Structure 1
Amino acid sequence: MTHAHTLGFPRMGAHRELKFALESFWRGDSSEAQLRDTGRTLRQRHWALQREAGLAQVAVGDFAWYDTTLTLAATLGALPARFGFDAKRLTLSQYFELARGRADQPAMEMTKWFDTNYHYLVPELSADTAFDGGVDWLFDEVDEALAQGLVPKPVILGPISFLWLSKVHGAQSAASAGFDRLSLLPRLVQAYRRLLAGFQQRGVQWVQVDEPVLCLDLPADWLAAFQPAYDELATPGLKLLLATYFDTAADHAVLAAQLPVQGFHIDLVRAPQQLDAWLAALPPQAVLSVGVVDGRNIWRSDLGRILAWLQPLQARLGDRLWIAPSCSLLHVPVTLAHEVKLDAEVRSWLAFATEKIGELKVLAQGLRDGVDSVAEALQANAQALAARRASGRVTNPVVQKRLQRISADMAQRHSPFVQRQAAQREALQLPPLPTTTIGSFPQTAEIRQARAAWRRGELSATDYLQRMRAEIEAVVRKQEELGLDVLVHGEAERNDMVEYFGEQLWGYAFTDNGWVQSYGSRCVKPPVLYGDVFRPEAMTVETTRYAQSLTTRHMKGMLTGPVTMLQWSFVRDDQPRDTTALQLALAIRDEVSDLEQAGIRIVQIDEPAFREGLPLRRTDWPRYLDWAVQAFKVSACSVRDDTQIHTHMCYSEFNDILPAIAALDADVITIETSRSAMELLDGFGAFDYPNEIGPGVYDIHSPRVPSVDAMVRLLQRAAEVIPAERLWVNPDCGLKTRGWPETEAALRNMVQAAQRLREGSALAA
C-alpha cells in the first residue's frame, strides 16, 4: 500500500494563534502555562488533520516556539556560550532571549533558510562546544503524539546540514582563525546517537533526517563526512528517512545510497529530472519518498497527470514508494477553509497545506484502489485546472506589448556612479555619514485598528486618509526632533511591503488568512500573483508628496523592488519567473518616474529577497542573476543623475554575488549587519564595492536598545572596511514590528553615534 506522509506542517495556526500567544507572553500578559497550552492545542489539531487525510504517520518536531534549528541546538546542547545558559535546564524565557536578545547580549544571528523567506537562527559553535545534551522538548512531543494513539515520525535536521548552517562564533579573532567546524562532527554525532536512542526507546519506527545541503555544491570533505557520520548513527530497530529538498541531489544519489539508512526523500517538484539517478542508485530494500505536491506554492496539483505518472513507479517499487509534498508545508498557509473574501474564481485554483495533504489522500487512494475510486475528485481537479487556463483574467495585451518594447537602454543609468555621486552631493547637500531609516516606523495598535475599521466599512475613506496623514505628520516631526538627515513617511498606510503594492496592481489577488511564518512570531501574507501585472495608476506619489510638504529635509520615496515582489508572492507557474519579474519592473519603473516628477530626490527600491532568489546550484546562478539584475535596473534607471536610488537587502551572505549587487548600480545600498558584528560587510570591502553603503548599526528584530558606544564601535569597524565618506548610518531594517519607546531610544543613540563620528575623534580612536 502506498504510504503518504508530510515532511512538516505549518505551526502558527490557521488564525495565527501561536503568534498572538507568543506576543502575549513576551508582553507579560499571559503565563508560560497558557503559552504551552496553545502550543499543545495546535500540535494536536495539526496531527488530527494529518490523520484525517489518511497519512500513515504524523510529523513531530516540526513545531517550535521560535525556530526549529534553535530548538535543535538547545536539544543537542549547542547554545552560544556568551549567554551562559545551561541547555539541560533551559527555560522558555531563556530560549526567547537567545532569539530576541537581552540588554547585555545581542540575539543570535538570523538568516534565510536556503532560498525561502523563512529565517532560521544560526547556531554559534566553537572548539569548546560539547554537544552534551539539552532540553527534552522533542521527546515530550513524541510522548504527546503516542498518548494520542498516533504514529509519530520525528523530523530533525541532519548533522551535516546542522554543521553547514552553523557559524564559528568570533570567527574574526585570532583564536578562531583556521578552526574548521567540521572537526566538531564526531562530537556532534554522539549527541545525535543519544537523540536517536531516545526515539528508539519510545518505539518510534521512522525518523526523518533532513539533509537539504545535499542539494548544494558541497566541498569534497563535507561530502566525505556523510559515510562515517551515518555509520555511527545506525540504530537497531530504528529506520531513517534521509530527506532532501529545494533542488536536485542526483549527483549525490550514489553516495547517499551507500549510507545505512532505510529510505530517501527527493523533491520532484523542483527537480523532476533527478528521479532516474535515484532509481538507478536505490538499494533493493530502500524506500523512495517522492515529493510530488508543491510544498512551496499554492496552486492545485494536476492530480490526473501525477497519478498517471506514479502508477508505473508504483508497479516498479510497490510498497517502497512513498508520496509526499516536495518539502515541509511550513512555506504555505494552513487552509483555504477560512477564505471568505478571496476572489471565488482564483480560490478554485488554489490548495493550502490542508488541501495539499487532501491531494495526497486522493493520490494514495488512486494508487491503492485504482483510478475509478477517485474519479469524482480527479474530474473536479481537472475542471479547476481547465478553468484557470481558459480564464480571460490571466493575460493582459497591454502588458504583453510593453514587454516586447523593452530595450537595453532602459536598464542603464545616464552616467557612471562617480558622476552621479557628484551631482547628488551637490543637489542633496547631506552631511557626512548621513542618518536615515529603512522605511517603516512602528505599526501601533491604533494604526492597525483604523485600517481594520476602514476595510470593514466602519471608517470612511476620507476619515482613514486623515488618520494616516496624522500618523505621517507625527512620524515626520519625530524624525526631525531626533535629528535624522533623510526622512521617511513611516508607511502607516501599508499593511505589508508586498501586499500593499499588490493591492494596487492588476494581476494580484489577496487572501484573508493566508499567513506564512517568516521568523519567530512574524508572519507574512503573500499575495497571489495569478496574471499579467499592470499599474493602472500611481501608488505612492500623493502620500510621499504630502510627507515631503511637511519638512524641508529630504523625504525618501519607498517602493518594493520587482525581485522581492516576485519572491514574496505566490507566483503563477504558467510562465517563466523572469517574464513576471519584468512585468513587475515596468510597473515599478512607472512609479519611480512619477515620484521624481513630483519632486522626490531620493527613491528607495527595496530588494531584501534578491539573494534569497538565488538558485541552490552555482550552475543555475548566471541565468537568475542576469534577469534579476535586469529587472531591478529596468525599475530604477529612468531617473536623472541627481536623483538618488537606494536599495535595501536583508540578512544574507552576499560575498558570492557581490558582482551582481554592484551591477545593480544603486547609488546607496543598506544591509543588515549588526547581528554579525559587521562581518557581512567584509566582503564588500574585499570586493571594493564602489557605491555608497549603509551597514545596519542595530538589530530591529530584537527589543534590545544598544548604547551609543556600541553603535560607535560598529561604525568604526565599518569604517575599517568602507571609506567613511561612502558610509550611511541606519538601522538593520524597517521598524514596523518595534514599539515606540525602544525605537526612539535606539534612533537617538544612532544619531548621537553618527555625530561623534563626524567630529572625527571616534573614527581615529
Structure 2
Amino acid sequence: MKKLLPTSTVGSLPKPVWLAPPEKLWSPWNLESNKLHEGKQDALIVSLQEQQLAGIDIISDGEQTRQHFVTTFIEHLSGVDFENRRTVKIRNRYEASVPVVVDEIARKKSVFVNDAKFLRKQTNKPIKWALPGPMTMVDTLFDKHYKSREKLAWEFAKVLNKEAKELEEAGVDIIQFDEPAFNVFFEEVNDWGMAALERAIEGLKCETAVHICYGYGIKANNDWKKTLGSEWRQYEEIFPKIQKSNIDIVSLECHNSNVPFNLMELVRGKKIMVGAIDVANNTIETPQEVANTLRKALEFVDVENLYPCTNCGMAPLTRNVARGKLSALSAGAEIIRKEYKT
C-alpha cells in the first residue's frame, strides 16, 4: 500500500563545507578534478543519509553535484558561451552575469544520468530528480542566436526531453521541472511556455512534476514578495493551463506565503506538492505548524494527492537549519497521517 502524504524536498539542500562555501547560490567548488568527483559523490551520500534520518519519503539528490539549478545543465550544452558573459535581469528582479547563446543548442552527452544511477544504487526509496524548465532556462541567459524566447525554449525542451528519458531509464521515479519563471511571465506561459514544458515531458512513463514558487530566500526575492500585496494570486493565471496538461504533480509555495489555498481548486485532480516549509528564514517550523498548513491544503486537495514538501530549495540555509526543517516536515505529515487513521 502506498504511503499517505509522502514527504519530499523541492531539490537543493546545503552542501558540506568541504565541498563548497555554505549559504550562497553559485557557490564555487572547494575541490578539483578527481577529488571534486569523489567529493560530490560523498556529498550525495551525506544528503541521502540526512533525508533518510529526517524521515523523508521521496529522496532527491540535494543538488549536491551542481552549482546552480539552471546553469549547471546549460554548461553541458554546446552553442552557449560561458566566457563572454552578459548582464541580464532575471525574472525582472535581479541582475546576474549570464552565459550567451551563440549557436544552435545541442546536448552531446547526458548531464546528470551518472549521478542519478549512483543515487539509485544507494536507496530503495523513490527518487525525484529536478531539471530546469525550458522557460526558466531562457530567462537565465542572453540569446544572441535564436533571437526568440519561444524558439530557444523549444530547443531547450528537446534536449531536456532526451535527458529526462535517460534519467527515467536510470531508475528515477519522478522528474521535476523547475519553472519559477511561470510565476512572472503569465502571457508567455499560456502562449508557449506550457507547450514547451509538454514537449520536455513527451513520451515519459515516470511521474512528472512542475515546481513553481516565489524563489529562494534571497534578498531580491524577499523584497519582490513585499510588493505583491495581501494576496498572491499569480498561480491563478497559469493553473488552468497546467490543469489541462499531462503534468502529474504541481509543486507550489504555501507556508508563510499569501497564496490563497483555494487556488489549488484550479488544479483539482493533479497531485500537489504543498510547500509547508518556509525556506526564506532560519526559523524551524514546529510539526504543528506544518500540520496546520497541510490541513488547510486538504480542504482543496484529496488526501491521496497531497505530497508535503518545502516551498523551494534550501541551498542557502545552514545544514543544521535544513535538518531541523526536514524533520519538522516529516513530523507534521505524521500528525495528519494519524488523524486519517483514527
Q: TM-score, normalised by structure 1?
A: 0.39
Q: Say if 2:253 is the partner of 1:672.
A: yes
Q: Structure 2 residue aligned with 1:736, among 290, 293, 315?
A: 315
Superposed displacement of residue 535, structure 1:
0.7
In the alignment, what sits opposite 1:312?
Answer: none
Q: 1:666 to 1:624 in 2, by over 3 A?
A: closer
- Map 1:673-692; keep pairs closer than 5 Å: 673-676=254-257, 679-685=259-265, 687=266, 689-692=268-271
Q: Deviations over 1:644-701 (max 9, x none)?
A: 1112001261112221122333111111121225x3331122x352211112112101
Q: Are the equivalent residues in 1 in contact too, given 2:19–2:30 (CA < 8 A)?
A: no
CA distance in 2, matches of 1:479, 1:647: 21
CA distance in 2, matches of 1:711, 1:602: 23
Q: 1:494 to 1:729 in 2, by over 3 A?
A: same
**More RCO (CA 8 Å, sep 6+):** 2
CA distance in 2, matches of 1:555, 1:515: 35
In the alignment, what sits opposite 1:571?
Answer: 143
Q: 1:624 to 1:719 in 2, by over 3 A?
A: closer
In the alignment, what sits opposite 2:101?
Answer: 529
CA RMSD between the two structures: 2.6
Q: Deviations over 1:215-272 (max 9, x none)?
A: xxxxxxxxxxxxxxxxxxxxxxxxxxxxxxxxxxxxxxxxxxxxxxxxxxxxxxxxxx
Q: Say if 2:301 is the partner of 1:710.
A: no
Superposed displacement of residue 431, structure 1:
0.7
- Map 1:450-489; keep pairs closer than 5 Å: 451-454=28-31, 459=32, 461-489=33-61
Q: What SS class does the counterpart of residue 489 from structure 1 fall into?
A: coil
In the alignment, what sits opposite 2:219?
Answer: none
Runs of 4+ in 1 over 6 A off after TM superposition: 512-519
CA distance in 1, matches of 2:196, 2:141: 16
Q: Structure 2 residue aligned with 1:494, among 59, 66, 72?
A: 66
Q: 1:576 to 1:518 in 2, by over 3 A?
A: closer
Q: Are the equivalent residues in 2 in contact too, given 1:468–1:493 (CA < 8 A)?
A: yes
Q: Are the equivalent residues in 2 in contact too, given 1:665–1:691 (CA < 8 A)?
A: no
* Higher Rg: 1
Identity in percent: 23
Q: Are the equivalent residues in 2 in contact too, given 1:681–1:695 (CA < 8 A)?
A: no
CA distance in 2, matches of 1:639, 1:472: 25
Higher percent of residues as helix: 1
Q: Are the equivalent residues in 1 in contact too, given 2:88–2:142 (CA < 8 A)?
A: no
Q: 1:595 to 1:647 in 2, by over 3 A?
A: same
CA distance in 2, matches of 1:584, 1:689: 29
CA distance in 2, matches of 1:506, 1:441: 28
Q: Are the equivalent residues in 2 in contact too, given 1:561–1:607 (CA < 8 A)?
A: yes
Q: Say if 2:213 is the partner of 1:650.
A: yes
Q: Deviations over 1:323-346 (max 9, x none)?
A: xxxxxxxxxxxxxxxxxxxxxxxx
Q: Are the equivalent residues in 1 in contact too, given 2:254–2:293 (CA < 8 A)?
A: no
Q: Deviations over 1:741-765 (max 9, x none)?
A: 111111111101101111126x99x
Please, which runs of 5 or more residues in structure 2 have no aligned partner?
22-26, 215-231
Q: Deviations over 1:567-597 (max 9, x none)?
A: 2222337532211111000000000111112
Q: Structure 2 residue aligned with 1:627, among 189, 192, 200?
A: 192
Q: 1:659 to 1:574 in 2, by over 3 A?
A: same
CA distance in 2, matches of 1:743, 1:515: 31
Q: Deviations over 1:522-553 (max 9, x none)?
A: 98543322322111110000001101111111
Q: What SS class does the counterpart of residue 702 from structure 1 fall into?
A: coil
CA distance in 2, matches of 1:547, 1:749: 24
CA distance in 1, matches of 2:35, 2:109: 22
Q: Structure 2 residue aligned with 1:637, among 189, 192, 202?
A: 202
Q: 1:453 to 1:728 in 2, by over 3 A?
A: closer
- Map 1:275-674; keep pairs closer than 5 Å: 430-448=2-20, 451-454=28-31, 459=32, 461-510=33-82, 525-572=97-144, 574-614=146-186, 621=187, 625-640=190-205, 643-651=206-214, 653-674=234-255
CA distance in 1, matches of 2:318, 2:95: 17
CA distance in 2, matches of 1:581, 1:628: 8
Q: Are the equivalent residues in 1 in contact too, given 2:8–2:56 (CA < 8 A)?
A: yes
Q: Structure 1 residue aligned with 2:329, among 750, 759, 763?
A: 750
Q: What SS class does the counterpart of residue 669 from structure 1 fall into?
A: strand
Q: Are the equivalent residues in 2 in contact too, given 1:498–1:527 (CA < 8 A)?
A: no
Higher percent of residues as strand: 2
Q: Are the equivalent residues in 2 in contact too, given 1:443–1:737 (CA < 8 A)?
A: no
Superposed displacement of residue 496, structure 1:
1.0
Please, which runs of 5 or more residues in structure 1 have no aligned partner?
1-428, 615-620
- Name the amino acid aligned to 1:629: M
CA distance in 2, matches of 1:509, 1:573: 11
CA distance in 1, matches of 2:199, 2:79: 19
Q: What SS class does the counterpart of residue 528 from structure 1 fall into?
A: strand
Q: Deviations over 1:109-156 (max 9, x none)?
A: xxxxxxxxxxxxxxxxxxxxxxxxxxxxxxxxxxxxxxxxxxxxxxxx
- Name the amino acid aligned to 2:300: V
- Name the amino acid aligned to 1:728: Y
- Name the amino acid aligned to 1:575: K
In the alignment, what sits opposite 1:117?
Answer: none
Q: Are the equivalent residues in 2 in contact too, given 1:567–1:613 (CA < 8 A)?
A: no
In the alignment of these two chains, the number of paired residues is 318
